[in-house]
Amino acid sequence: MKNGISFPGLGLSFEVSRSLFSVFGVPVYTYGLLIALGVCLAFLYAVREVKRSNITQDDFLNMFIIGLPVAIVCARLYYCIFSWDSYKDDLWQILNLRGGGLAIYGGVIGAALSVLIYCRVKKLSVGSVLDILAVGLLIGQTVGRWGNFVNGEAFGAECNLPWTMTIVRGTRTIAESVHPTFLYESLWNAAGVGVLLLLKRKKVFEGELACCYMVWYGLGRFMIEGLRADSLMLGPLRVSQVLSALLVVAGLILIIKNYKKHLTRSE
């Protein structure tokens, strides 16, 4: 199945295939490959940073091996919980990852909890590890959002801006003149990578980049989520906006608290 995706105001048109090839008759989806590419790039960044830190490669690999499947499971559970009406009559569909349905916030929560628990058990610097994870996450998220482009999903409401997007699947128009919210978030995340790398040179405390990730990603996601047409809802609230607001507040509190602590020590 191919999606015809166009940006009429920009004179751009693409025909993208949701699956690139098959292995033993099983289609390999472009979305999955882009997610895998994002994970690989995040992994390569983390490997480089681990060599410059006090974290051993064994500990890093252990965290990766534990954290990746936990993140995938949590991303799936998060999506299914807030889309319960689609799964309550056939719970086995929760296990059908090929049917789609992963939520980035669930993955972030799963990965962060895995790292926190591992670091506590092994008595490692939580802040140092989370700083590496923060940049890696934004790298992965920047690439991963293009999976939504290929799938023709995660788009916004209708608008009349010059860069509106139209999606056609077969003979059916899925969306017409809508916000390309996947692109907004990918660009926001890419800018976030640059911001965190600049802050990394002058960071005051361990965990600062992780806190800045919370503020940066939370702020961007809150704004972009308000434009989306397919948000996961909890009553009248967009779940991701609620979490984004909490993330920003928590990040700011941690930054202020740690900067005050640093200033006190400097006096």
Number of Cα atoms under 13 Å in the Cβ half of residue 265: 8
Q: Which residues contact 263 (CB under 8 A, 6 or more apart)?
A: none
Mean pLDDT of 227-253: 93
Surface-to-core class of residue 136, CB atoms within 10 Å of its CB (0-12 exposed, 13-18 middle, 19+ buried): buried
Q: Which residue has the higher pLDDT, 65 or 265?
A: 65
Q: What is the mean pLDDT of residues 106-125?
A: 94
Confidence of residue 266 (pLDDT cuts 50, 70, 90): low
Could you say which DSSP state residue 92 is in? G
Q: Which residues pair with 2 in a beta bridge?
A: 17
Contact 218, 244 (CB under 8 A): yes
- Whether the Cβ atoms of residue 167 and residue 5 lie closer than 8 Å to each other: yes
Residues 105, 78 contacting (CB under 8 angstroms): yes
Query: Higher pLDDT residue, 80 or 88?
Result: 80
Q: Tokens 């994870």: give the residue.
A: 133
- Decide: residue 154, CB within 10 A, 0-12 exposed, 13-18 middle, 19+ buried: buried
pLDDT at 252 over 90: yes
Whether residue 97 has pLDDT greater than 80? no
Average pLDDT, the chain: 92
